[in-house]
Structure 1
Amino acid sequence: MKLRAAALLVIFCLGVFTVSTVRGSAGSQPMRRFTCVTLSTQKVDIRSLVNYEKQHVPVNAVMFITAKGFKICVSPEQRWVQAAIKKIDQKRSRKGK
C-alpha cells in the first residue's frame, strides 16, 4: 500500500512539474500574433500611425499600427519610417508627463 501511494505521489509531482515548466516557458515570452514576412514599399501617412514594434526575425522590419488597427510592415532604413518612429515616441513621452 505504501509503495502504491509513493508511486502515485511521484506521478503527481512529475505532472505538476511538467505543467509548470510548459506554462513558464510559453507564458514568459509573449507570442506575436502577426509577424512581418514581406515589406510594404508605400509611404503611409504618419498622422494615422499610433504605435510600432521593431522586428528582426524573419526579416528586419518595423510594424506600424494605425488608429484603425491595421498593421503595416516596412523597412526601418527608410527616412519617413525613422521620422514616424520619432513622432510616435514623442507622443508617448508627452503622455507620460
Structure 2
Amino acid sequence: MKLHAAAILLVFWLGIFTVHTAKGSIGSQSMRKFRCVNLSTQQLNIRNLISYEKQQVPVNAIMFLTTKGIKICVSPDQRWVQAAMKKIDQKRTTKGK
C-alpha cells in the first residue's frame, strides 16, 4: 500500500513539474515582431495615425499605428505617406518641448 501511495505522489509531482517547466519555456519566448508582408493601397486619414515605423525587410514599407491600435502597412513612395510621417514627426517634436 505504501508503494502505491508513493507512486501516485511521484506521478503527481512529476505532472506539476512538467506543467511548470512547459509554462516557463513558453512564457520566456519573445513575441515575434509584426512585419509587413502585404501593403494597403488605400489612403488613410492622417488624423487617425499616431506613429509609424520604417521597414525594409521583407518589403520596403511604412507601418502606421492607428488610434485604435491597428497596424497598417503602406508603400513609402506615396505622397500622402510622406505627409503623414511629417505630421507625426511634428507632433512628436511639439510634445517633447
- TM, length-normalised to structure 2: 0.67
Q: Secondary structure at the match of 1:42?
A: coil
Q: What secondary structure, in the 3-state scheme, does the structure 2 residue paired with 1:38 have?
A: coil
Q: Which residue of 1 aligns with 2:94?
A: 94
Matched ranges for 1:19-30 at <5 A:
none
Q: CA offset at residue 31 of structure 1?
A: 7.0
Query: Residue 81 of structure 1: SS of its match in structure 2?
Result: helix
How far apart are the structure 1 equivalents of 2:82 and 2:32?
22
Structure 2 unaligned regions, length at least 5: 1-29
CA RMSD of aligned residues (A): 1.5
1:35 paired residue number: 35
Query: 4+ residue runs of structure 1 moved beyond 2 angstroms?
Result: 30-33
TM-score, with length taken from structure 1: 0.67
> 2:66 maps to what in 1?
66
Give the unaligned 5+ runs of structure 1: 1-29
Paired residue type of 2:63: M
**Bigger CA drift: 75-84 or 32-41?**
32-41
Identity of matched residues, %: 72
Structure index of larger Rg: 2
Give the number of equivalent residue pairs: 68
Alpha-carbon deviations, 1:54-91, whole Å to 9, x = none? 00000000000001000000000000000000000000
Q: CA deviation at 1:33?
A: 2.2
Query: How many Å separate the matches in 1 of 2:32 and 2:78?
Result: 24
Q: Residues of 2 paired with 1:64 and 1:54: CA distance?
A: 9
- Could you tell me which residue of structure 2 aligns to residue 47 of structure 1? 47
Greater shift in the superposed pair: 30-39 or 50-59? 30-39
Distance 1:59 1:31, change over 3 A: farther
